[in-house]
């Protein structure tokens, strides 16, 4: 039985990995340790998972357990250090998205992977959600011929979207901004549907709603003098999970789960537009806002023989109560068709459970190419990282070549 350890003890680590590993997957894999820089949070996770050993240091966990696989589900800016150390210790790695947050860290990971001969898998759960997977299947069947262009509009609501601005994600140095942290999912789905490599990016980004210290505000909702009139007030004491895992543990690391949305440290964008050109000469037009009245996404895929339209609007990040079940196909011969999809309401549209099966069962057939390796992880994060540079420099940029052995190149997108 393969031995697994976990880095990170936050919400994703608990619900996506620790609990299922300690219950449904017990006896198939062996879950043998957890490390988090906040020992209280790691202790709470351990209590809920049958007393899994908690380690004070990552290297101590590696040498005590000698794991086959390290799962990395800590904050984004820490992923690369654990991925590289785990690879060099002879472990395979399962990394939460984004694999890392910038080009340099991405190079370090790819180099360590090549030198160690071990393998990094990135958990792009949306590839496993039935609705996204059915679109991929239709594209592989050629229902609209060659893909020429995709439009994707993604909108986060004022609860889910705002939440990124309350936490570590709100600072570029921690998350790479939403174009890396969040859009890595979206760019990955598009890269997968396109079946081509992204080569050039031109982006714009602004901050219109959150941040910039532009209102009379407090430090956090819990102690704020504007609790009665702030539209974003959030009472963390109403949520037993947040209260236990974050509020009770904040003395250890000062991680306030309800930091003010107008904090001056916020430097990520809440309004983003990105154009991407692919090797196939297909293009993507993408937008993301983090303050919509309701949440969801819409996409149109234009091809040589027709067009596919897909969309989903829902009330929370788990995509529950989503209405996505129909894929509309319009052909150039004037005919059209509606394809019904049986969508699951569980974790990310059914993606999480299917992803765990692919990760833990081993040898699962993969006709759609849903399992993502480090190169797939790199392609989507590099669109976001290059978009950030494009915004800062005000020009279109080529994606960097991060293959091991290739040095840092800086060039604009003149063709
Ligand atoms: N695939 C998905 O749909 C999905 C959904 C949510 C989060 N995620 C990813 O999961 C990861 C965790 O996100 P989360 O929402 O659980 O965040 P979180 O803030 O709840 O948890 C992050 C954890 O990392 C720990 N940490 C911080 N610095 C550390 C360090 N140096 N070493 C070890 N641990 C450290 C924190 O103490 C915290 O327990 C992120 O990479 C995020 O992008 C993926």
Determine if ligand 1 sits within 6 Å of the CB of residue 38. yes
Q: Which of 19, 50, 22, 46 is nearest to 34 (CA)?
A: 46
E strand spans, 191-332 = 198-206, 271-278, 283-292, 295-303, 306-314, 326-331
Mean pLDDT across the chain? 94
230 contacts: CB under 8 Å, gap ≥ 6 = 217, 221, 224
Q: pLDDT at residue 89 above 90?
A: yes
C-alpha 123 to ligand 1 mean position (Å): 13
Highest mean pLDDT, choosing among 211-225, 310-324, 370-384: 370-384
C-alpha 169 to ligand 1 mean position (Å): 10
C-alpha 245 to ligand 1 mean position (Å): 12
- For tokens 């303050």, name the residue: 291
Determine if ligand 1 sits within 6 Å of the CB of residue 125. yes
Give dist(CA 233, CA 260) in Å, integer: 9
Task: Write the DSSP string, 145-208.
Answer: -SEEEEEEEEEEETTHHHHHHHSGGGSHHHH--HHHHTHHHHHHHHHHHHTS-EEEEEEEEE-S
- From 34, 46, 73, the mutation candidate for ligand 1 (largest count of ligand atoms within 8 A of CB) is 73
Contact in structure between 373 and 122 (CB atoms under 8 Å): yes
pLDDT at 215: 80
- When pLDDT is averaged across residues 49-63 and rounded to a whole number, the result is 98
C-alpha 307 to ligand 1 mean position (Å): 38
Determine if ligand 1 sits within 6 Å of the CB of residue 113. no
- From 74, 245, 347, the mutation candidate for ligand 1 (largest count of ligand atoms within 8 A of CB) is 74
Q: pLDDT at residue 105 above 60?
A: yes
pLDDT at 324: 59
Closest C-alpha to ligand 1, atom 6: 12
Q: What is the pTM of this model?
A: 0.95
Give dist(CA 205, CA 390) in Å, integer: 9
Q: pLDDT at residue 315 above 70?
A: no
Give dist(CA 306, CA 302) in Å, integer: 6
C-alpha 10 to ligand 1 mean position (Å): 5
Give dist(CA 364, CA 367) in Å, integer: 10
The pair of three-digit structure tokens given for residue 202, joined into one six-digit string = 């031109």
Determine if ligand 1 sits within 6 Å of the CB of residue 221. no
Closest C-alpha to ligand 1, atom 38: 10
Tell me the per-residue pLDDT of 21-49, one tens digit each, with 9 for 90 and over: 999 999 999 999 999 999 999 999 999 99
Determine if ligand 1 sits within 6 Å of the CB of residue 123. yes
Give dist(CA 255, CA 163) in Å, integer: 14
C-alpha 174 to ligand 1 mean position (Å): 11
Give dist(CA 163, CA 290) in Å, integer: 9
Closest C-alpha to ligand 1, atom 43: 97
Closest C-alpha to ligand 1, atom 11: 73
Determine if ligand 1 sits within 6 Å of the CB of residue 8. yes
Contact in structure between 88 and 118 (CB atoms under 8 Å): no
Tell me the per-residue pLDDT of 127-157, one tens digit each, with 9 for 90 and over: 999 999 999 999 999 999 999 999 999 999 9
Give dist(CA 34, CA 71) in Å, integer: 9
Q: Write out the H or E segment, with its range, that includes residue 340.
A: strand 336-340
Tell me the per-residue pLDDT of 223-275, one tens digit each, with 9 for 90 and over: 999 999 999 999 999 999 999 999 999 999 999 999 999 999 999 999 999 99
pLDDT at 343: 73
- Using the Cα atoms of residue 136, residue 137, residue 143 and residue 146 in order, give the sign of their dihedral: positive
328 contacts: CB under 8 Å, gap ≥ 6 = 308, 309, 310, 336, 337, 338, 339
pLDDT at 415: 46
């Amino acid at each position: 039985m393969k031995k697994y350890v976990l880095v990170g003890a936050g919400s994703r680590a608990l619900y996506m990995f620790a609990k299922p590993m300690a219950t449904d997957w017990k006896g198939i894999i062996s879950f043998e340790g957890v490390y988090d820089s906040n020992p209280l949070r790691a202790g709470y996770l351990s209590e809920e998972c049958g007393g899994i050993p908690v380690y004070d240091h990552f290297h101590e966990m590696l040498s005590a357990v000698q794991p086959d696989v390290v799962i990395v589900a800590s904050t984004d800016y820490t992923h690369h250090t654990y991925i590289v150390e785990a690879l060099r210790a002879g472990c395979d790695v399962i990394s939460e998205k984004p694999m890392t947050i910038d080009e340099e860290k991405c190079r370090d990971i790819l180099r360590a992977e090549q030198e160690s001969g071990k393998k990094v898998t990135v958990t792009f759960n949306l590839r496993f959600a039935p609705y996204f997977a059915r679109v991929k299947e239709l594209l592989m069947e050629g229902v609209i011929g060659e893909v020429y262009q995709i439009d994707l509009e993604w909108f986060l609501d004022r609860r889910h979207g705002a939440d990124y601005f309350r936490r570590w994600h709100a600072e570029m140095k921690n998350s790479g901004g939403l174009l890396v942290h969040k859009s890595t999912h979206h760019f990955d789905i598009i890269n997968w549907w396109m079946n081509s490599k992204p080569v050039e990016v031109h982006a714009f980004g602004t901050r219109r709603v959150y941040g910039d210290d532009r209102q009379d505000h407090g430090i956090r909702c819990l102690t704020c003098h504007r609790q009665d009139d702030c539209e974003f007030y959030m009472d963390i004491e109403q949520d037993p999970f947040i209260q236990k895992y974050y509020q009770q543990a904040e003395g250890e690391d000062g991680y306030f789960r309800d930091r003010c949305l107008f904090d001056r440290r916020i430097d990520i964008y809440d309004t983003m537009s990105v154009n991407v050109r692919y090797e196939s000469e297909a293009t993507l037009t993408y937008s993301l806002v983090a303050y919509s009245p309701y949440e969801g996404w819409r996409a149109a895929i234009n091809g040589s023989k027709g067009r596919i339209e897909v969309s989903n609007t829902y009330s929370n990040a788990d995509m529950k109560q989503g209405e996505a079940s129909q894929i509309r196909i319009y052909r150039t011969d004037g005919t059209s068709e509606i394809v019904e999809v049986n969508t699951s309401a569980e974790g990310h549209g059914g993606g999480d459970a299917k992803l765990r099966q692919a990760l833990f069962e081993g040898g699962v057939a993969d006709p759609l190419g849903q399992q993502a390796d480090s190169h797939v992880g790199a392609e989507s994060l590099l669109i976001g990282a290059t978009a950030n540079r494009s915004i800062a420099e005000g020009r279109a940029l080529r994606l960097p070549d991060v293959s091991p052995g290739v040095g840092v190149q800086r060039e604009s997108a003149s063709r």
